[in-house]
Amino acid sequence: MLQPLSWLYRGGAALQRVIDTRLRTPQRASRPLVVVGNLVAGGAGKTPTVIALVALLREMGWRPGVISRGYGRRDDDRVRIVDAHSDAAEVGDEPLLIRLRTRAPVAVARRRIDAARALCERQPEVTLLVADDGLQHHALARDAQVIVFDERGAGNGLLLPAGPLREPLPTELPARTLVVYNAAQPSTPLPGTLALRALPGPIELARWWHGEAPGAVDWSALRGRRIFACAGTAVPERFFAMLRQQGLDLVPIVLPDHAPYTHLPWPADAADVVLTEKDAVKLRPERTGHTRVWVAPLDLQLDASLGPALARWLPAPR
C-alpha cells in the first residue's frame, strides 16, 4: 500500500534536486563547508558525528562553526546564534547540544545559507562550516559531505514512507563523499569507516550544564540501584542497550524523538534517573527536585583516516 507513495516521494525528491542543482545556482557560503547527514530518516548518529568531526577539524588546524535548521524550534523564522544560555525550544535541542559539547559557534535558521552568513558575520574567526544535516539540501554548495549510517543500513531499501530512505542508496560513492558507520560493522555495500561508540561515565545534570567532563564517576557507582532511563531519541533502545552493558538495572522510559520535557516523565519518588544528552539540554537542574539526575554523554571516536580523506577536498586551513 505504501510503495506507490514511495515512488511519489522519489519523484518529488528527484525534481527538487534538478531544481536546486540545474535550474538554480547552488549558493556558496563564504567559508568551506562540510555537510553531515543521513540517507535514512532519523537516529543514525548524525549529531555525535558532528561533535566528533568538529574536534577532528580543530586538530587539523581549522576553527569550525556549525549551521543547522534547528529541527522543531519554536520561532522557526528567526536566525539565531546559539549560546550556552539558549533555550532548546527556540534553537533546537541538537544545535544546543552541539554548542555545549564543542563550544564551537553555532547558528540556526530556516535557510541554511542565512545561518552561514550570520555566523560568518558575527564570528569572523570561523574558518570552516559544518552543516548539521542538510545532505538533501542541494541548494547549498558543499566542499565535502559525510553520510552516516547505523546498524539499520538502508533498511528495506525503499524510500519514505514504505522504507527509511530519504533518497535512493547510490551504487557507488558520490563525488567528495565519505561514509561513517556508527555501528560495529558496515551496514551497506558503500565503502566507509567505523566509528566507535562509548559512554565514558555518568555526570550529574548540574555539573554537565557547567561543562564538566565525564569520568569523575564510574558506572559502578550506579550498579545495584533501580535506575529510570529516559531516551527521547529516534532509536531509544540503542541507549538502553549501552546502559545495560554497564551493568545497570534499568526501568526504560521511551519518549518521542525531540520530546520537549514540559513534564518530568519519571515517577515523583524516583531516586536515580539517567538521561541522554539530547534530553538533558531541555532540563535545567532546578526542575529535578530530590531526584538524582545523571547525564550519559556519548563519545564517538572517528577513524584516523577520516581527516586526511577530508583534506583532499578542502583548502589548507588558514
Same domain? 122 vs 249: no
Phi, psi of 159 (to 5 degrees): -85, 165
Same domain? 183 vs 208: no
Residue ranges making up the domain that contains 227: 200-297
Grid cell listed for 207 = 555539573
CATH of the domain at 134: 3.40.50
Quick check: is 130 in a domain?
Answer: yes
Q: Which of 3-7, 254-258, 273-277, 300-304 has the lowest mean pLDDT?
A: 3-7
Same domain? 233 vs 280: yes
Same domain? 240 vs 117: no
Cα 240 from chain centre: 18
| Total domains in the fold of the chain | 2
Quick check: is 127 in a domain?
Answer: yes
Same domain? 66 vs 108: yes
140-178 pLDDT, tens per residue?
A: 999 999 999 999 999 999 999 999 999 999 999 999 999
pLDDT at 13: 56
Quick check: is 221 in a domain?
Answer: yes
pLDDT at 12: 65
Same domain? 292 vs 169: no
Same domain? 175 vs 97: yes
Quick check: is 317 in a domain?
Answer: no
Quick check: is 316 in a domain?
Answer: no
pLDDT at 312: 97
Quick check: is 236 in a domain?
Answer: yes
Mean pLDDT, to the nearest integer, of 17-44?
A: 85
Mean pLDDT, to the nearest integer, of 119-135?
A: 96
- Give DSSP secondary structure letters for the chain: --HHHHHHHHHHHHHHHHIIIIISPPB--SS-EEEEEESBSS-SSHHHHHHHHHHHHHHTT--EEEEE--TT-S-TTS-EEE-TT--HHHH-HHHHHHHHHH---EEE-SSHHHHHHHHHHH-TT--EEEEES-TT-TTB--SEEEEEE-TTTTTTSPBTTTSSBSSPPPSSPPTTEEEEE-SSS--SSS--EE-EEE----EEHHHHHTTPPTTSS-GGGGTTSEEEEEE-SSSHHHHHHHHHTTT-EEEEEE--TT---SS--S-TT-SEEEEEHHHHTT--GGGSTTSEEEEE--EEE--TTHHHHHHTTSPPP-
Quick check: is 141 in a domain?
Answer: yes
243-268 pLDDT, tens per residue?
A: 999 999 999 999 999 999 999 999 99
Same domain? 50 vs 189: yes
